[in-house]
Structure 1
Amino acid sequence: MTRTLSQFGWAAAALLAVLNGSVAASANDLVCSRVYTLNADFDEGTLLNVNHNIPDQLQLNTETKPFPFIWVACSARGTVVRIDVNTGTILGEYLSAPAGRPHNPSRTTVDLNGNVWVSNRDEADGIGGVPHGSVVKIGLVIGGTRVDAGGNPDPNGEYLKPPFLYSTAVDRDGDGLIKTSRGLGDVRPWPDFGDGGGGGGGGAALVQDADDECILIYQRLPDAPNARHVSVTKDNDVWVGGYPFAQRMFHKLSGIDGSILASFDARPFGAGGYGGFIDANNVLWSASISQNSLLRYDLNLMAGMAIPINQSYGLGVDSAGFVWNAMWTMNTVAKLSPAGVMQAGFPVPTGGSCSRGVAVTLADNHVWIANSCTHTVTRLDNAGNLLKSIAVGNTPTGVAVDANGKVWVTCLGSDTAERIDPTVGLGTVDLVVNLGPGAAPYNYSDMTGNLILGVVQQGTWTVVHDSLVAGTDWGTVSWTSTEPAGTSIKARVRAADTIAGLPGIPFVDVENGVNFCDKGVAGRYIEIQAVFSRQPGIQETPILYDLTVQCCNRPPVALCQDITVCTDPGTCEATVEAADVDAGSYDPDGDPITMTIAPPGPYPLGQTIVVLTVTDPLGESDSCEATITVVDCEAPSVECVPTTNPAGKVVPPAGNNPKSGQNPDGFYQLLAADNCDPNPAIYVADSASAFMAGPFQSGDKVKITQAPGVKPTQKPGAGVIVAHILLKGDAVVVAVDASGNMARCMCLVPPPPK
């Protein structure tokens, strides 16, 4: 069953048994691939702003929404809290800087992954003689089980144990758990063993010292002290600008590691730094109250201009891209075109006093303004007409729109965050969240992520596959999709040997069906994220029909052994199969392999070097050499055949000795044949002595006489008779081939007749 959070447009499965470890396969079986194509498959992952309302495919929601949280900077306490917008529950409280570093967080922005970036406006200490500001990135965990350090369930435990519905936290100590705040007042320590310097020269600034594993990045900002501008880009990086009530540097930071990617100096423009956002055209807007101007900086061209706006303060943007700028004690609001042109009839009164934060409900393009001195939030239509003034807590500063379309206001003087339902009486407070004493929530920039979703219409489907084998190398992700003009589906992956370890690994962008084995994506668990996007104004959606993840097709390993084999029966060569020289070749992925040897057999007597090649089903192969030694193991055949008297007479009949049988004259032909040796040697041994006559060749004729009382001898014969052999006993005819194989037969020679 899918676990849905339909109120805010995203859903997540329980991640099923694959993340709980209860799997049917044995722990040693590599689950090398997985295909996702049915609703049940997609439900194994987390759906954010995507759906399968049309069965067995994923598409973007008609309306994309942010995560169901609001991040509030408790400025006076130096912390940030995350609040569930549905219940008002404070889910965590986090320090905005290491111990000993100046805090006073105020400006916030929420990125596409639900993380918050917060600048510390009190930080201006120098590094190398240059004043530096600071900014922190804080992640989140959704789901999981509260446990103690040993992983045992404990509602008050300091740790969260996976599986999670969603997590961007980093398991820094590798214990498989995430140590993080339980809620309001549970602020984990953050000693400064090195984090306080940031990335050092603008390098990677991943946090190492914070006890809370949701605190991810802390970067110092050269020549950008008292940072007050933080805004996220369509690529999920951030621009941060310093503002000691004068213009300073702006720096673009990597959303992955916080390193400084680009910079520009706002001083030549005399505007910018007090807070703002980036619009759908990649234009950065930044207020500057002391300079009575608004910076419009085109990040495509890296060029900007200052627009005169008295007491330029809070900023918002409507669905048409028009920029709304509150004008502090002027108690008015300006409306500018995307090109920066003031609209006719503007500025107009806000309906309140000391106007600060601005937000727009995109469903109706109404503008909501926090008025600190009258303790109100006023609602204006898109033409600037006042619709309602809503009484809220003391000294409201910032406003933001949540995933449900409700408006939140942070109240500096009453230490509260309050929710307004715009559908009840044109706006009624329906929830008040007490932030605790000394919170002083001074923040009025984007607190929910609603602004960036007005820039990038994006959704994601994120799933984790368990291979069951640690260190699995991953190789391809392929998918079937339709992507109308102005839309796209992209994929990225990361892998780790624990689920909790995944968020600490950077995603690697991958292409459809393109091998990425060289990217080093390795681990038991692989997390795949499909990112669905469409440009502003596009109504069509990209569609994902299926997605397949496959581990690297590691080539098989060929292992050889030298062998010695006998010739095949009756031949002087041997037939050898590939398996005979195989010494345990294998495929690391468990795939079947085929084996061949070259040159092919049969193989002649002696040594032949062969190459064994093993190949997997995808054509990857490996080879090794083996020596095949063929030996002749087969004995020759041998016969002793009675033959005629050399005079040509027939074999005479037996004499008086009844045992003499035929051939009493003792003429024999010696015959031998061998599979390899064309001329095996033949010997005639005496069964009654150690005497041996020979050697002879096959076909030789000899006369053998048995004379028990004489000395055995071999004498030359006459004519066709090669030798005359005199023995004490019977003749034993022995044939020996070149390999030393021996065969014998008896040649019963009768004694002469008496």
Structure 2
Amino acid sequence: MMLRRVKIIAASCVLSLGGMGSALAGQTYTKNADFDWGQLKGVDHAPPNDDQLQITLGDNPIPPPFMWVANFADGTVTKISTDTGGQVAKYHSVLMRNWDGSVPQGITLPIPGADCNSPSRTTVDGDDNAFVANRGFCTDSTTYTRATVTKFAGSLGYCVDRNGNGLIDTSRDVNGDGVIGREPPEFLGQADECILWTRNYAEKGDLGRSVAIDGDQNIWLGGYSSSKLWKLDGKTGALLQTIDLNAEKGTIANIYGLAVGPEGFIYTSDLTAKRLRKIDPKAPVGRRVVAEVGVSTPTYGLAVDRDGVAWLGSWADESPGRGGVLRVDFKTGKEEKILVSSSTDCTGLTRGVAVAGNGDIWVACYSTHKLLHFRRSRVTGSVFFNKSYATDSGTLGVTIDDHQRIWTSNYDTNSVTRVDPGAGRVQLSRPAGGIPYSYWDMSGYQYRNSTIRQGEWVVVQEGERLGAQWGTIHWNRESAGSVPAETAIEVSVQASDDSRALSSQPVFPVTRGVSFTGAGVTGRYLRVRAVLRTKNLTQSPVLSDLSIIPSWSWGESPAFMCEGTVDGTPPPHVQPCAIPQVGIIARWQGVHCRWLYENRSRIQSGNRDVERHRSSIHRQAAPYGDLAQ
């Protein structure tokens, strides 16, 4: 077994290392075989970049295996498994009172079949959490609702045990029929602990018809009438920035669709004035609208490809009797209509749009209830119509799942439909949960395709003791590790005495090299998730190594053994000395003293299991230099 070297800085300190280059009782992952004990999703260690992880930039995005469908008439959002098509949870689209005691203004308790909040656009961030924009449709003199946004936890680890019962009380498919009922225990309404918060952003009468996430995981929302943009903190919902597009440009337009594309530019579609905009939110006031293109047709759904080209649905009956998709290049200021082959494919009224990782375009045609496929040539880059697929009636929205299958939400039939392009057929249709009106990024695929690129590595380590307190995680100590500008590596952990309960434990963000002992992260098993993310679509951060160092490796064990002593008590002249590389305390041992400890670490991943045993590992004191095993 090959072990790494560790440079000892202070001459009077000594540090013993265990197997795989780990610090004391810890574990280091640095070789291909080490990383393979974990689960790789959207990252690789492919040659020539062996023994490190980087984002697989040229591949298709891998969103979480769920889609979030807004049911406007019922005031709910349904979480649907893209593996089975079954409903796994359903939530109210607003919280009447937030868990922090704040009360959103201009909302009503959701009423099935007559909801005023009117949830519509959904999207998913890089931690798999979801957001819904509620339009706020009731604006009469006696009752009015305002536009709001609500955040939902994408996994139990982001939910919060508000009532302190030791459980996460949340919606779930109790009877396993793939449909969430309207009553407990399947549906908990306002008591659901996975609804995180609801925030206001627009004024009365300014409908909220758009939501998107930027590369920093903050959310952008548009006011339909005002053409204002609001930037909210993706974690807390706090207001960070407001941009008045009409005032910036001196022209009038509406915001119907919203997307964040490469380099952080924001794009908007317009149903009425037919003005499309490209916005730089970091530019000085008055110069943020960097381009405006007038188009010939009202535009509906919006998606942006990796080149910053916008693709839009056309909300019109096309005069040739053939519908299609609108391509708008803001660099040239030109639009191009790409039409289907015949009116049997689509006569017009195209709505949701999605761009695949290979550049193909998928469009919902409402007039003929079909999903349209426009293929991109791998040679010339040109886009042309390929074929259509018949879906359930009312084809409205389009999204792509983690297996590159295409989904539609179908308004008229309260359903979702899955198409497998590889097989060239419609695979299934399932109930959506209450008149879906979602047509934007329901799975988070578009965010991972053209706003950022992202991958993750997850590993579970066993500490072989119940209630273990974990200590520190280090990464990128090797020179190959790098985090260039516009990239990031984020590490988080979950711990439990039961490996089956790890996913339901609170997610704790970890700071590189900073101990989290005492922060409540305790348990025999530790789940570590390292996310690699980049806003530069052509460059990845590099994770060269990651070390998990449990607290007992420097506090509870090892035993300090000196010749001539019985209990290991050091002689009076021994002085403490800090070892900054690993954040532990060692002691000058004298010539005949040594560390003595025993450690077993078990690493689990899927159905693979390995146990590494290290016993009585020791080093005699050295005045300085490298210690290696």
Under TM normalisation by the shorter chain, which class is it? 0.5 to 0.7
| Structure-2 residue corresponding to 1:456 | 452
**1:349-748 maps to which residues of 2 (within 5 A)?**
349=339, 351-363=346-358, 365-382=359-376, 383=382, 385-424=384-423, 427-436=424-433, 439-454=434-449, 455-463=451-459, 468=465, 472=469, 474-480=471-477, 482-483=480-481, 490-493=489-492, 504=506, 507-508=509-510, 510-511=511-512, 514-515=513-514, 521-525=519-523, 528-534=528-534, 536=536, 538=538, 542-551=542-551, 594=570, 596=572, 620=585
Alignment check: 8 A CA contact 1:496 1:502 kept: no
- Residues 88, 318 of structure 1: alpha-carbon distance in 2 compared, 3 angstrom cutoff: same
The match for 2:197 is 217
CA contact (8 A) 2:88 2:180 kept: no
Partner SS state of residue 447, structure 2? helix
Say which SS state the counterpart of residue 137 (structure 1) adopts.
strand
2:334 is equivalent to residue 342 of structure 1: yes
Is this contact kept in 2: 1:46–1:462, CA < 8 A? yes
Give the distance between the partners of 2:571 and 2:63, measured in 1 at CA: 56
Indicate how the Cα distance of structure 1 residues 593 and 228 shifts in structure 2: closer, same or farther if over 3 A, else same.
farther
1:121 aligned residue = 135
Query: What residue identity is the alignment partner of 2:201?
Result: L
Q: 1:369 to 1:488 in 2, by over 3 A?
A: closer
Shift of 1:554: 8.4
Count, aligned residues: 491
Distance 1:520 1:233, change over 3 A: farther
CA shift, 1:550, in A, is 5.0
Q: Give the aligned partner of residue 241 of structure 1.
A: 222
CA RMSD of aligned residues (A): 4.1
**What CA distance in whole angstroms lies between the structure 2 residues aligned with 1:260 and 1:465?**
39
Given the superposition, is the C-alpha separation of residues 287 and 593 from structure 1 closer, same or farther in structure 2, using an over 3 Å criterion?
Answer: farther
Residue type of the partner of 2:400?
Answer: V
Q: What's the secondary structure of 1:234's corresponding residue?
A: coil
Deviations 1:352-377 (A, max 9, x none): 321111112332x2322212122222
**Aligned CA distance change for structure 1 residues 476 and 545 (closer, same or farther; 3 Å):** closer
1:395 to partner: Cα distance = 1.6
Note closer, same or farther for the CA distance 1:535–1:103 as it changes in structure 2 (3 Å cut).
Answer: closer
Quote how far apart the aligned CAs of 1:41 are.
5.8
Q: Is the 8 Å Cα contact of residues 25 and 553 (structure 2) preserved in structure 1?
A: no
Q: Deviations over 1:340-362 (max 9, x none)?
A: 7224xx13445432111111233
Is the aligned partner of 1:112 residue 2:148?
Answer: no
Work out whether 1:333 is the aligned partner of 2:325.
Answer: yes
Partner of 2:258: 276
For 2:135, give the aligned amino acid: R
- Whose radius of gyration is greater, 1 or 2? 1
Q: Report how far residue 487 of structure 1 moved.
A: 8.8
CA deviations on 1:560-608 (whole Å, 9 max, x unpaired) are: xxxxxxxxxxxxxxxxxxx99xxx9xxxxxxx774536xxxxxxxxxxx
SS at match of 1:288: coil
**1:67 corresponds to:** 64
Where in structure 1 are there 5+ consecutive unaligned residues? 1-30, 142-165, 191-207, 557-578, 585-591, 598-611, 623-754
Q: Percent identity?
A: 26
Query: Which residue in 1 is equivalent to 2:237?
Result: 258
CA, structure 1 residues 520+267, in 2 after alignment: closer, same or farther (shift >3 Å)? farther
AA of the residue aligned to 1:90: Q
Q: After superposition, give the CA deviation of every residue in 1:366-414 in whole Å (9 maximum; x if it has no partner).
A: 3222121222222234445332233222121111122222211111001
Equivalent residue for 1:318? 305
Match of 1:196?
none
Report the residue type matching 1:182 in the other structure: R
* Paired AA for residue 392 in structure 1: T
Aligned counterpart, 2:75: 78
CA distance in 1, matches of 2:395, 2:235: 33
Larger relative CO (CA 8 A, sep 6+): 1 or 2? 2
**Structure 1 position 308 matched with structure 2 position 294:** yes
Shift of 1:428: 2.8
Following superposition, the deviation at residue 296 of structure 1 comes to: 1.4
Displacement of 1:284 in angstroms is: 0.8
Post-superposition offset of 1:135: 0.9
- In structure 2, relative to structure 1, the CA distance for the partners of 1:403 and 1:554 (3 Å cut) is closer
The letter of the residue matching 1:323 is A
- SS of equivalent residue, structure 1 residue 76: coil
Hey, what's the Cα distance between the residues in 2 that align with 1:376 and 1:617?
65
User: Which shows bigger deviation, 179-188 or 390-399?
Assistant: 179-188
SS in 2 for 1:77: coil
Higher share of residues assigned strand: 1
Aligned to 1:299, the other structure's residue is in SS state: coil
Work out the CA distance in 2 between the residues paired with 1:44 and 1:172.
Answer: 35
Provide the C-alpha distance between the structure 1 equivalents of 2:417 and 2:144, rounded to a whole number of angstroms.
40
Structure 2 counterpart SS, 1:390: strand
Letter in 2 for 1:429: V
CA contact (8 A) 1:117 1:137 kept: yes
Label 1:621 to 1:419 Cα distance change in 2 as closer, same or farther (>3 A): closer
2:42 aligned partner: 49
Whether the aligned pair in 2 keeps the contact of 1:82 and 1:91 (CA below 8 Å) is yes
CA distance in 1, matches of 2:520, 2:183: 32
Could you tell me how far 1:538 is from its partner in structure 2?
3.0
Instruction: Report the residue type matching 2:43 in the other structure.
Output: V
